[in-house]
């Protein structure tokens, strides 16, 4: 199956992690008039390590700020009625030829003093009981299982509070990874993800959170 990886952008999209908790689904670039994109050139190290990555050329709106770190994007927007901003880092997977993402990954917090959560969003065609499994490659003997939180008409959400050992291991990766879940027929669906830039994106998220305290 041919795929490309893309970042979501558009007003009001600092909600992927919150959606796993509160039942809100993030929109797609197509639905929200997302900006044009530029693809990483084939033959570059990034292109050989992972599927082509698409990044936005401009900020999604006057109140949202974005910053790209490798194959991840950090986006922040003000919290209504507060001086603080809400931030997350995210990556989306888009089927070749389609505008809407087939899956999304995001790191963020539901509140300032809460743990950092990883949230995965995949289509509703899943089997229960099962998990979303994230691994570095097919030989990874320490894959991370992410438990389902809820399913809504637009997608199923799984999330996991991050631990330092998991983050430290993922920070050391720069290549392609895998996201696997069981579809409605009980078969494994494998989607490509990228760790490139994750460490720098997490550092950027930490800086934003420190400034907002």
Q: How far is CA 14 from CA 24, 97, 107, in A?
A: 11, 25, 10
Residue holding tokens 């490659």?
A: 137
pLDDT for position 185: 95
What's the structural domain count of the chain? 1
Q: Is the whole model's pTM more than 0.95, yes or no?
A: no
CATH assignment at residue 13: 2.60.40.1880
Per-residue pLDDT tens over the stretch 32-70: 333 323 222 233 333 333 344 444 444 444 588 999 999
pLDDT for position 34: 33
Per-residue pLDDT tens over the stretch 108-124: 998 888 999 999 999 99
pLDDT for position 25: 35
For 49-74, give the DSSP string: HSS-EEEESS-SSSS-EEEEETTEEE
Closest CA to 157 of 40, 29, 15, 45: 15
Domain assignment of residue 81, given as a range: 3-211
């Amino acid at each position: 199956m041919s795929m490309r990886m893309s970042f979501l952008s558009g007003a009001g999209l600092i909600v992927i992690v919150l959606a796993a908790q509160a039942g809100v689904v993030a929109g797609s670039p197509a639905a929200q008039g997302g900006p044009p994109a530029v693809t990483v050139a084939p033959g570059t190290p990034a292109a050989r390590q992972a599927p082509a990555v698409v990044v936005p050329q401009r900020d999604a709106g006057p109140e949202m700020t974005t910053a790209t770190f490798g194959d991840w994007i950090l986006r922040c927007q003000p919290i209504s009625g507060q001086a603080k901003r809400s931030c997350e880092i995210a990556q989306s997977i888009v089927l070749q030829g389609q505008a809407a993402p087939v899956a999304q990954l995001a790191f963020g917090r539901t509140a300032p003093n809460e743990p950092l959560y990883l949230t995965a969003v995949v289509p509703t065609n899943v089997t229960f009981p099962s998990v979303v499994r994230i691994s570095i490659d097919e030989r990874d003997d320490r894959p991370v299982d992410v438990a389902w939180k809820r399913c809504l008409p637009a997608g199923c959400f799984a999330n996991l509070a991050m631990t330092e050992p998991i983050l430290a291991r993922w920070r050391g990766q720069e290549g392609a990874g895998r996201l696997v879940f069981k579809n409605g027929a009980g078969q494994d669906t494998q989607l490509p993800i990228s760790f490139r830039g994750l460490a720098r994106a997490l550092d950027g998220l930490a800086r934003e959170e420190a400034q907002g305290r």
